[in-house]
Structure 1
Amino acid sequence: MGFEPPQRLVRALGEMHGERAAADWLARLPELINESLAANGPELALERVAAPGGRSSLVLLVRRVDGTPAVLKIAPAGAAPDLEQAALAHWNGWGAVRLLGSGGEALLLERLHPEVSLRSLPEAKALLEAAGTVRRLWVEPPVGHSFETVAERTGRCTDPMRAAAAADPALEPLVSAALAAREELVAHSPEVLLLHGNFRQSKVLAGERAPWLTVGPEPLVGERAYDLARLVRDRVEDLIASPGGPVTARRRINKLADSLDVDRERLHGWTLFRAVESGTRALTVGRRQEGELSLEFAGWL
């Protein structure tokens, strides 16, 4: 099968896995697609590649033998598709896209409506629906699971953050504050639940069997405040452009924390850490505008 992978995917894979590893995996894609189609059923028909698609995987629109539309998601091993499969299987469609099967290097998923995410709603309505969706995902993890903890995942980020601060001393105060917040937060976790890991408005899509369902988890275990922290920063470009941005950001933290019975201070701390981590990472790979927006937001906190 000949095709051009979406450029969004090509760029993101290079940033996450290195240009060489990304190029090697992309070169194998035609073979992987054929293998995955065959492994998930001989009657699975390919319709087209979804574009712009995701940042960590190739998304194919397919149709099952009974005519049911579905999605075939193919991701490199570095994106941990095995953990995504385990999380989706455990949720079993509760608040999340339903796992229909797996085979080869792909997950077969129910098809949602990627053109309609929570970002299409007004801000207040989007946050309300997001809160109602994410709370369904926070369940006890399966026995004998292989998910990493919040402490483990965030611990891998600390050295790159320090390196970014060393390269640009202007970042040092924010990085130091974020690292101090993380150190205090991981010293004691109030709960150990299965988390989405990358929850935000664009990860919640319209569905048929439920109004809104989550996609694209990067699952881990830990406290709910960590999962909410990325949601707080949603639509950051609108917040930055607003004269009342700092007040709105702090109000959003309090509103989300109260609506989901999460400690305000812990949500504040994780929001600070995740904004600084995201900002420094974006600067490191050359996404300057994105990085500066995240860091300006962090400075408000």
Structure 2
Amino acid sequence: MNDVTARFVDERQRRRLVRRFGDHVVDWLAGLPSVVEKLAAQWRLTVEGPAPHGRTSVVLYVRRADDTEGVLKLSPDGGLAVAEAGLLRMWGGSRRVPDVWALDAGHGAILMERVEGDTVAAGGVVPPMETIGGLIARLHGVEVSPAQRAELRPVTARVQFLFDRWSRERSEGPAAEIVPAALMHRGSARARDLANGEVDVVPLHGDLHPGNVIDGGPRGLVVLDPQACLGDGAVDAVDWVLWKATDLTEVERRVGVLSQAMAVDGDRLLEWARAFAPCMAVARANRGQVGSPEFDLLLNLCRVPA
């Protein structure tokens, strides 16, 4: 990685991108400075420096000619950028997502509004489930045209991707000795059954965890980084059912509040949580977070027979 690229991407992010997309990302990163220079000229931007990155992109803080603060997001996969921009624009009327100002599909680049604030994950405080349920319901309630729906991949594809990813993470990390493979297989089968249903089918965020929600202060909660798909609306609430929960009573309470706020079936939401519990257990095990009430709860949830 050359010195110019290193201004935008640290070694940790480089490893993330290579793991996600493969070794060809190294060439993409080498050409990134010239792409950023071209887009800055095209959109009249001043590049201020790197912003927190996701698993699929490089994100830079920028300022437009009129002095408004923005974010330039670049992905090695132009299709991901197009899908994300489309979903953010579709949800724009909700005011629960950043405004998209420009898209360059050829360079996998999105220019969007900068929303100030920390993510919910960084804050570390579990918001009221009524607030989260209302946020998700507002996104799912946006009117979507048939053409827009046709552009969204089915949630079955997202489920397959996630279980492939976490099965690989399990086999390559400490979780291999802690989370039985049988629990991953059971969770995958559960999730596939749920994903193949035709109940409450809506445009989904697909990755709505606390690290992808910003507390924007007066702006309210703002959602980032959608992995656009179409399917059962209950799946978007799974992370909120389980995040920092330490016992089944708390899980069931959250399911009750969320399912009512979102107008989805509570039993189905709990089944989605059981399905993804082994993936979350793998994540904790690989970070050395075992032996806690949160970890034990995840294992107990995914051990319950279907």
Residues 174 and 298, structure 1, Cα contact 8 Å, conserved in 2: no
- Give 3-state SS (helix, strand or coil) of 1:115's partner: coil
Residues 152 and 228, structure 2, Cα contact 8 Å, conserved in 1: yes
Separation in 1, partners of 2:227, 2:164:
21
Separation in 2, partners of 1:4, 1:186:
38
Residues 8 and 55, structure 1, Cα contact 8 Å, conserved in 2: no
Q: 1:288 to 1:207 in 2, by over 3 A?
A: closer
The letter of the residue matching 1:179 is S
Q: Specify which of 215, 223, 232 is matched with residue 214 of structure 1.
A: 223
CA RMSD of aligned residues (A): 3.2
Shift of 1:148: 0.9
- Give 3-state SS (helix, strand or coil) of 2:207's partner: coil
Q: 1:161 to 1:62 in 2, by over 3 A?
A: closer
How many residues end up aligned between the 2 structures? 285
Q: 1:14 to 1:273 in 2, by over 3 A?
A: farther
Separation in 2, partners of 1:287, 1:24:
29
Q: Specify which of 10, 15, 19 is matched with residue 15 of structure 1.
A: 19
Residues 80 and 108, structure 2, Cα contact 8 Å, conserved in 1: no
Deviations 1:10-50 (A, max 9, x none): 232132223x13322222221221122233x2x22112222
The letter of the residue matching 2:260 is D
Q: Specify which of 167, 171, 178 is matched with residue 187 of structure 2.
A: 178
Q: 1:208 to 1:183 in 2, by over 3 A?
A: closer
Q: What's the % identity of the aligned pairs?
A: 26
Shift of 1:56: 2.2
Q: Hey, what does 2:304 align to over in structure 1?
A: none
Separation in 2, partners of 1:83, 1:247:
38
What is the TM-score normalised by the length of structure 2? 0.79
Separation in 2, partners of 1:170, 1:116:
28
Shift of 1:91: 1.4
Q: Hey, what does 1:72 align to over in structure 2?
A: 72
Please say if 1:101 is aligned against 2:102: yes
Any stretches of 5+ residues in structure 2 without a counterpart? Answer: 302-306
Q: Specify which of 254, 264, 267 is matched with residue 266 of structure 2.
A: 264
Shift of 1:98: 0.9
Any stretches of 5+ residues in structure 1 without a counterpart? Answer: none
Residues 194 and 221, structure 1, Cα contact 8 Å, conserved in 2: yes
The letter of the residue matching 1:298 is L
The letter of the residue matching 2:288 is Q
Shift of 1:79: 7.1
Alignment of 1:126-205 (within 5 A): 127-138=129-140, 139-144=142-147, 145-157=150-162, 171-205=180-214
| Greater CA drift, 23-32 or 63-72 | 23-32
Residues 8 and 60, structure 2, Cα contact 8 Å, conserved in 1: no
| Greater CA drift, 191-200 or 138-147 | 138-147
Q: 1:210 to 1:160 in 2, by over 3 A?
A: closer
Shift of 1:63: 1.2
Deviations 1:161-190 (A, max 9, x none): 77768x769614422431332243134221
Q: 1:197 to 1:153 in 2, by over 3 A?
A: same
Q: 1:8 to 1:264 in 2, by over 3 A?
A: farther
Shift of 1:7: 4.1
Residues 133 and 259, structure 2, Cα contact 8 Å, conserved in 1: no
Residues 191 and 276, structure 2, Cα contact 8 Å, conserved in 1: no
The letter of the residue matching 2:235 is Y
Q: 1:6 to 1:65 in 2, by over 3 A?
A: same
Q: Hey, what does 1:47 align to over in structure 2?
A: 48
| Greater CA drift, 200-209 or 94-103 | 200-209
Separation in 2, partners of 1:101, 1:195:
22
Q: 1:141 to 1:291 in 2, by over 3 A?
A: farther
Please say if 1:230 is aligned against 2:239: yes
Separation in 2, partners of 1:58, 1:227:
24
Separation in 1, partners of 2:165, 2:66:
49
| Greater CA drift, 199-208 or 265-274 | 199-208
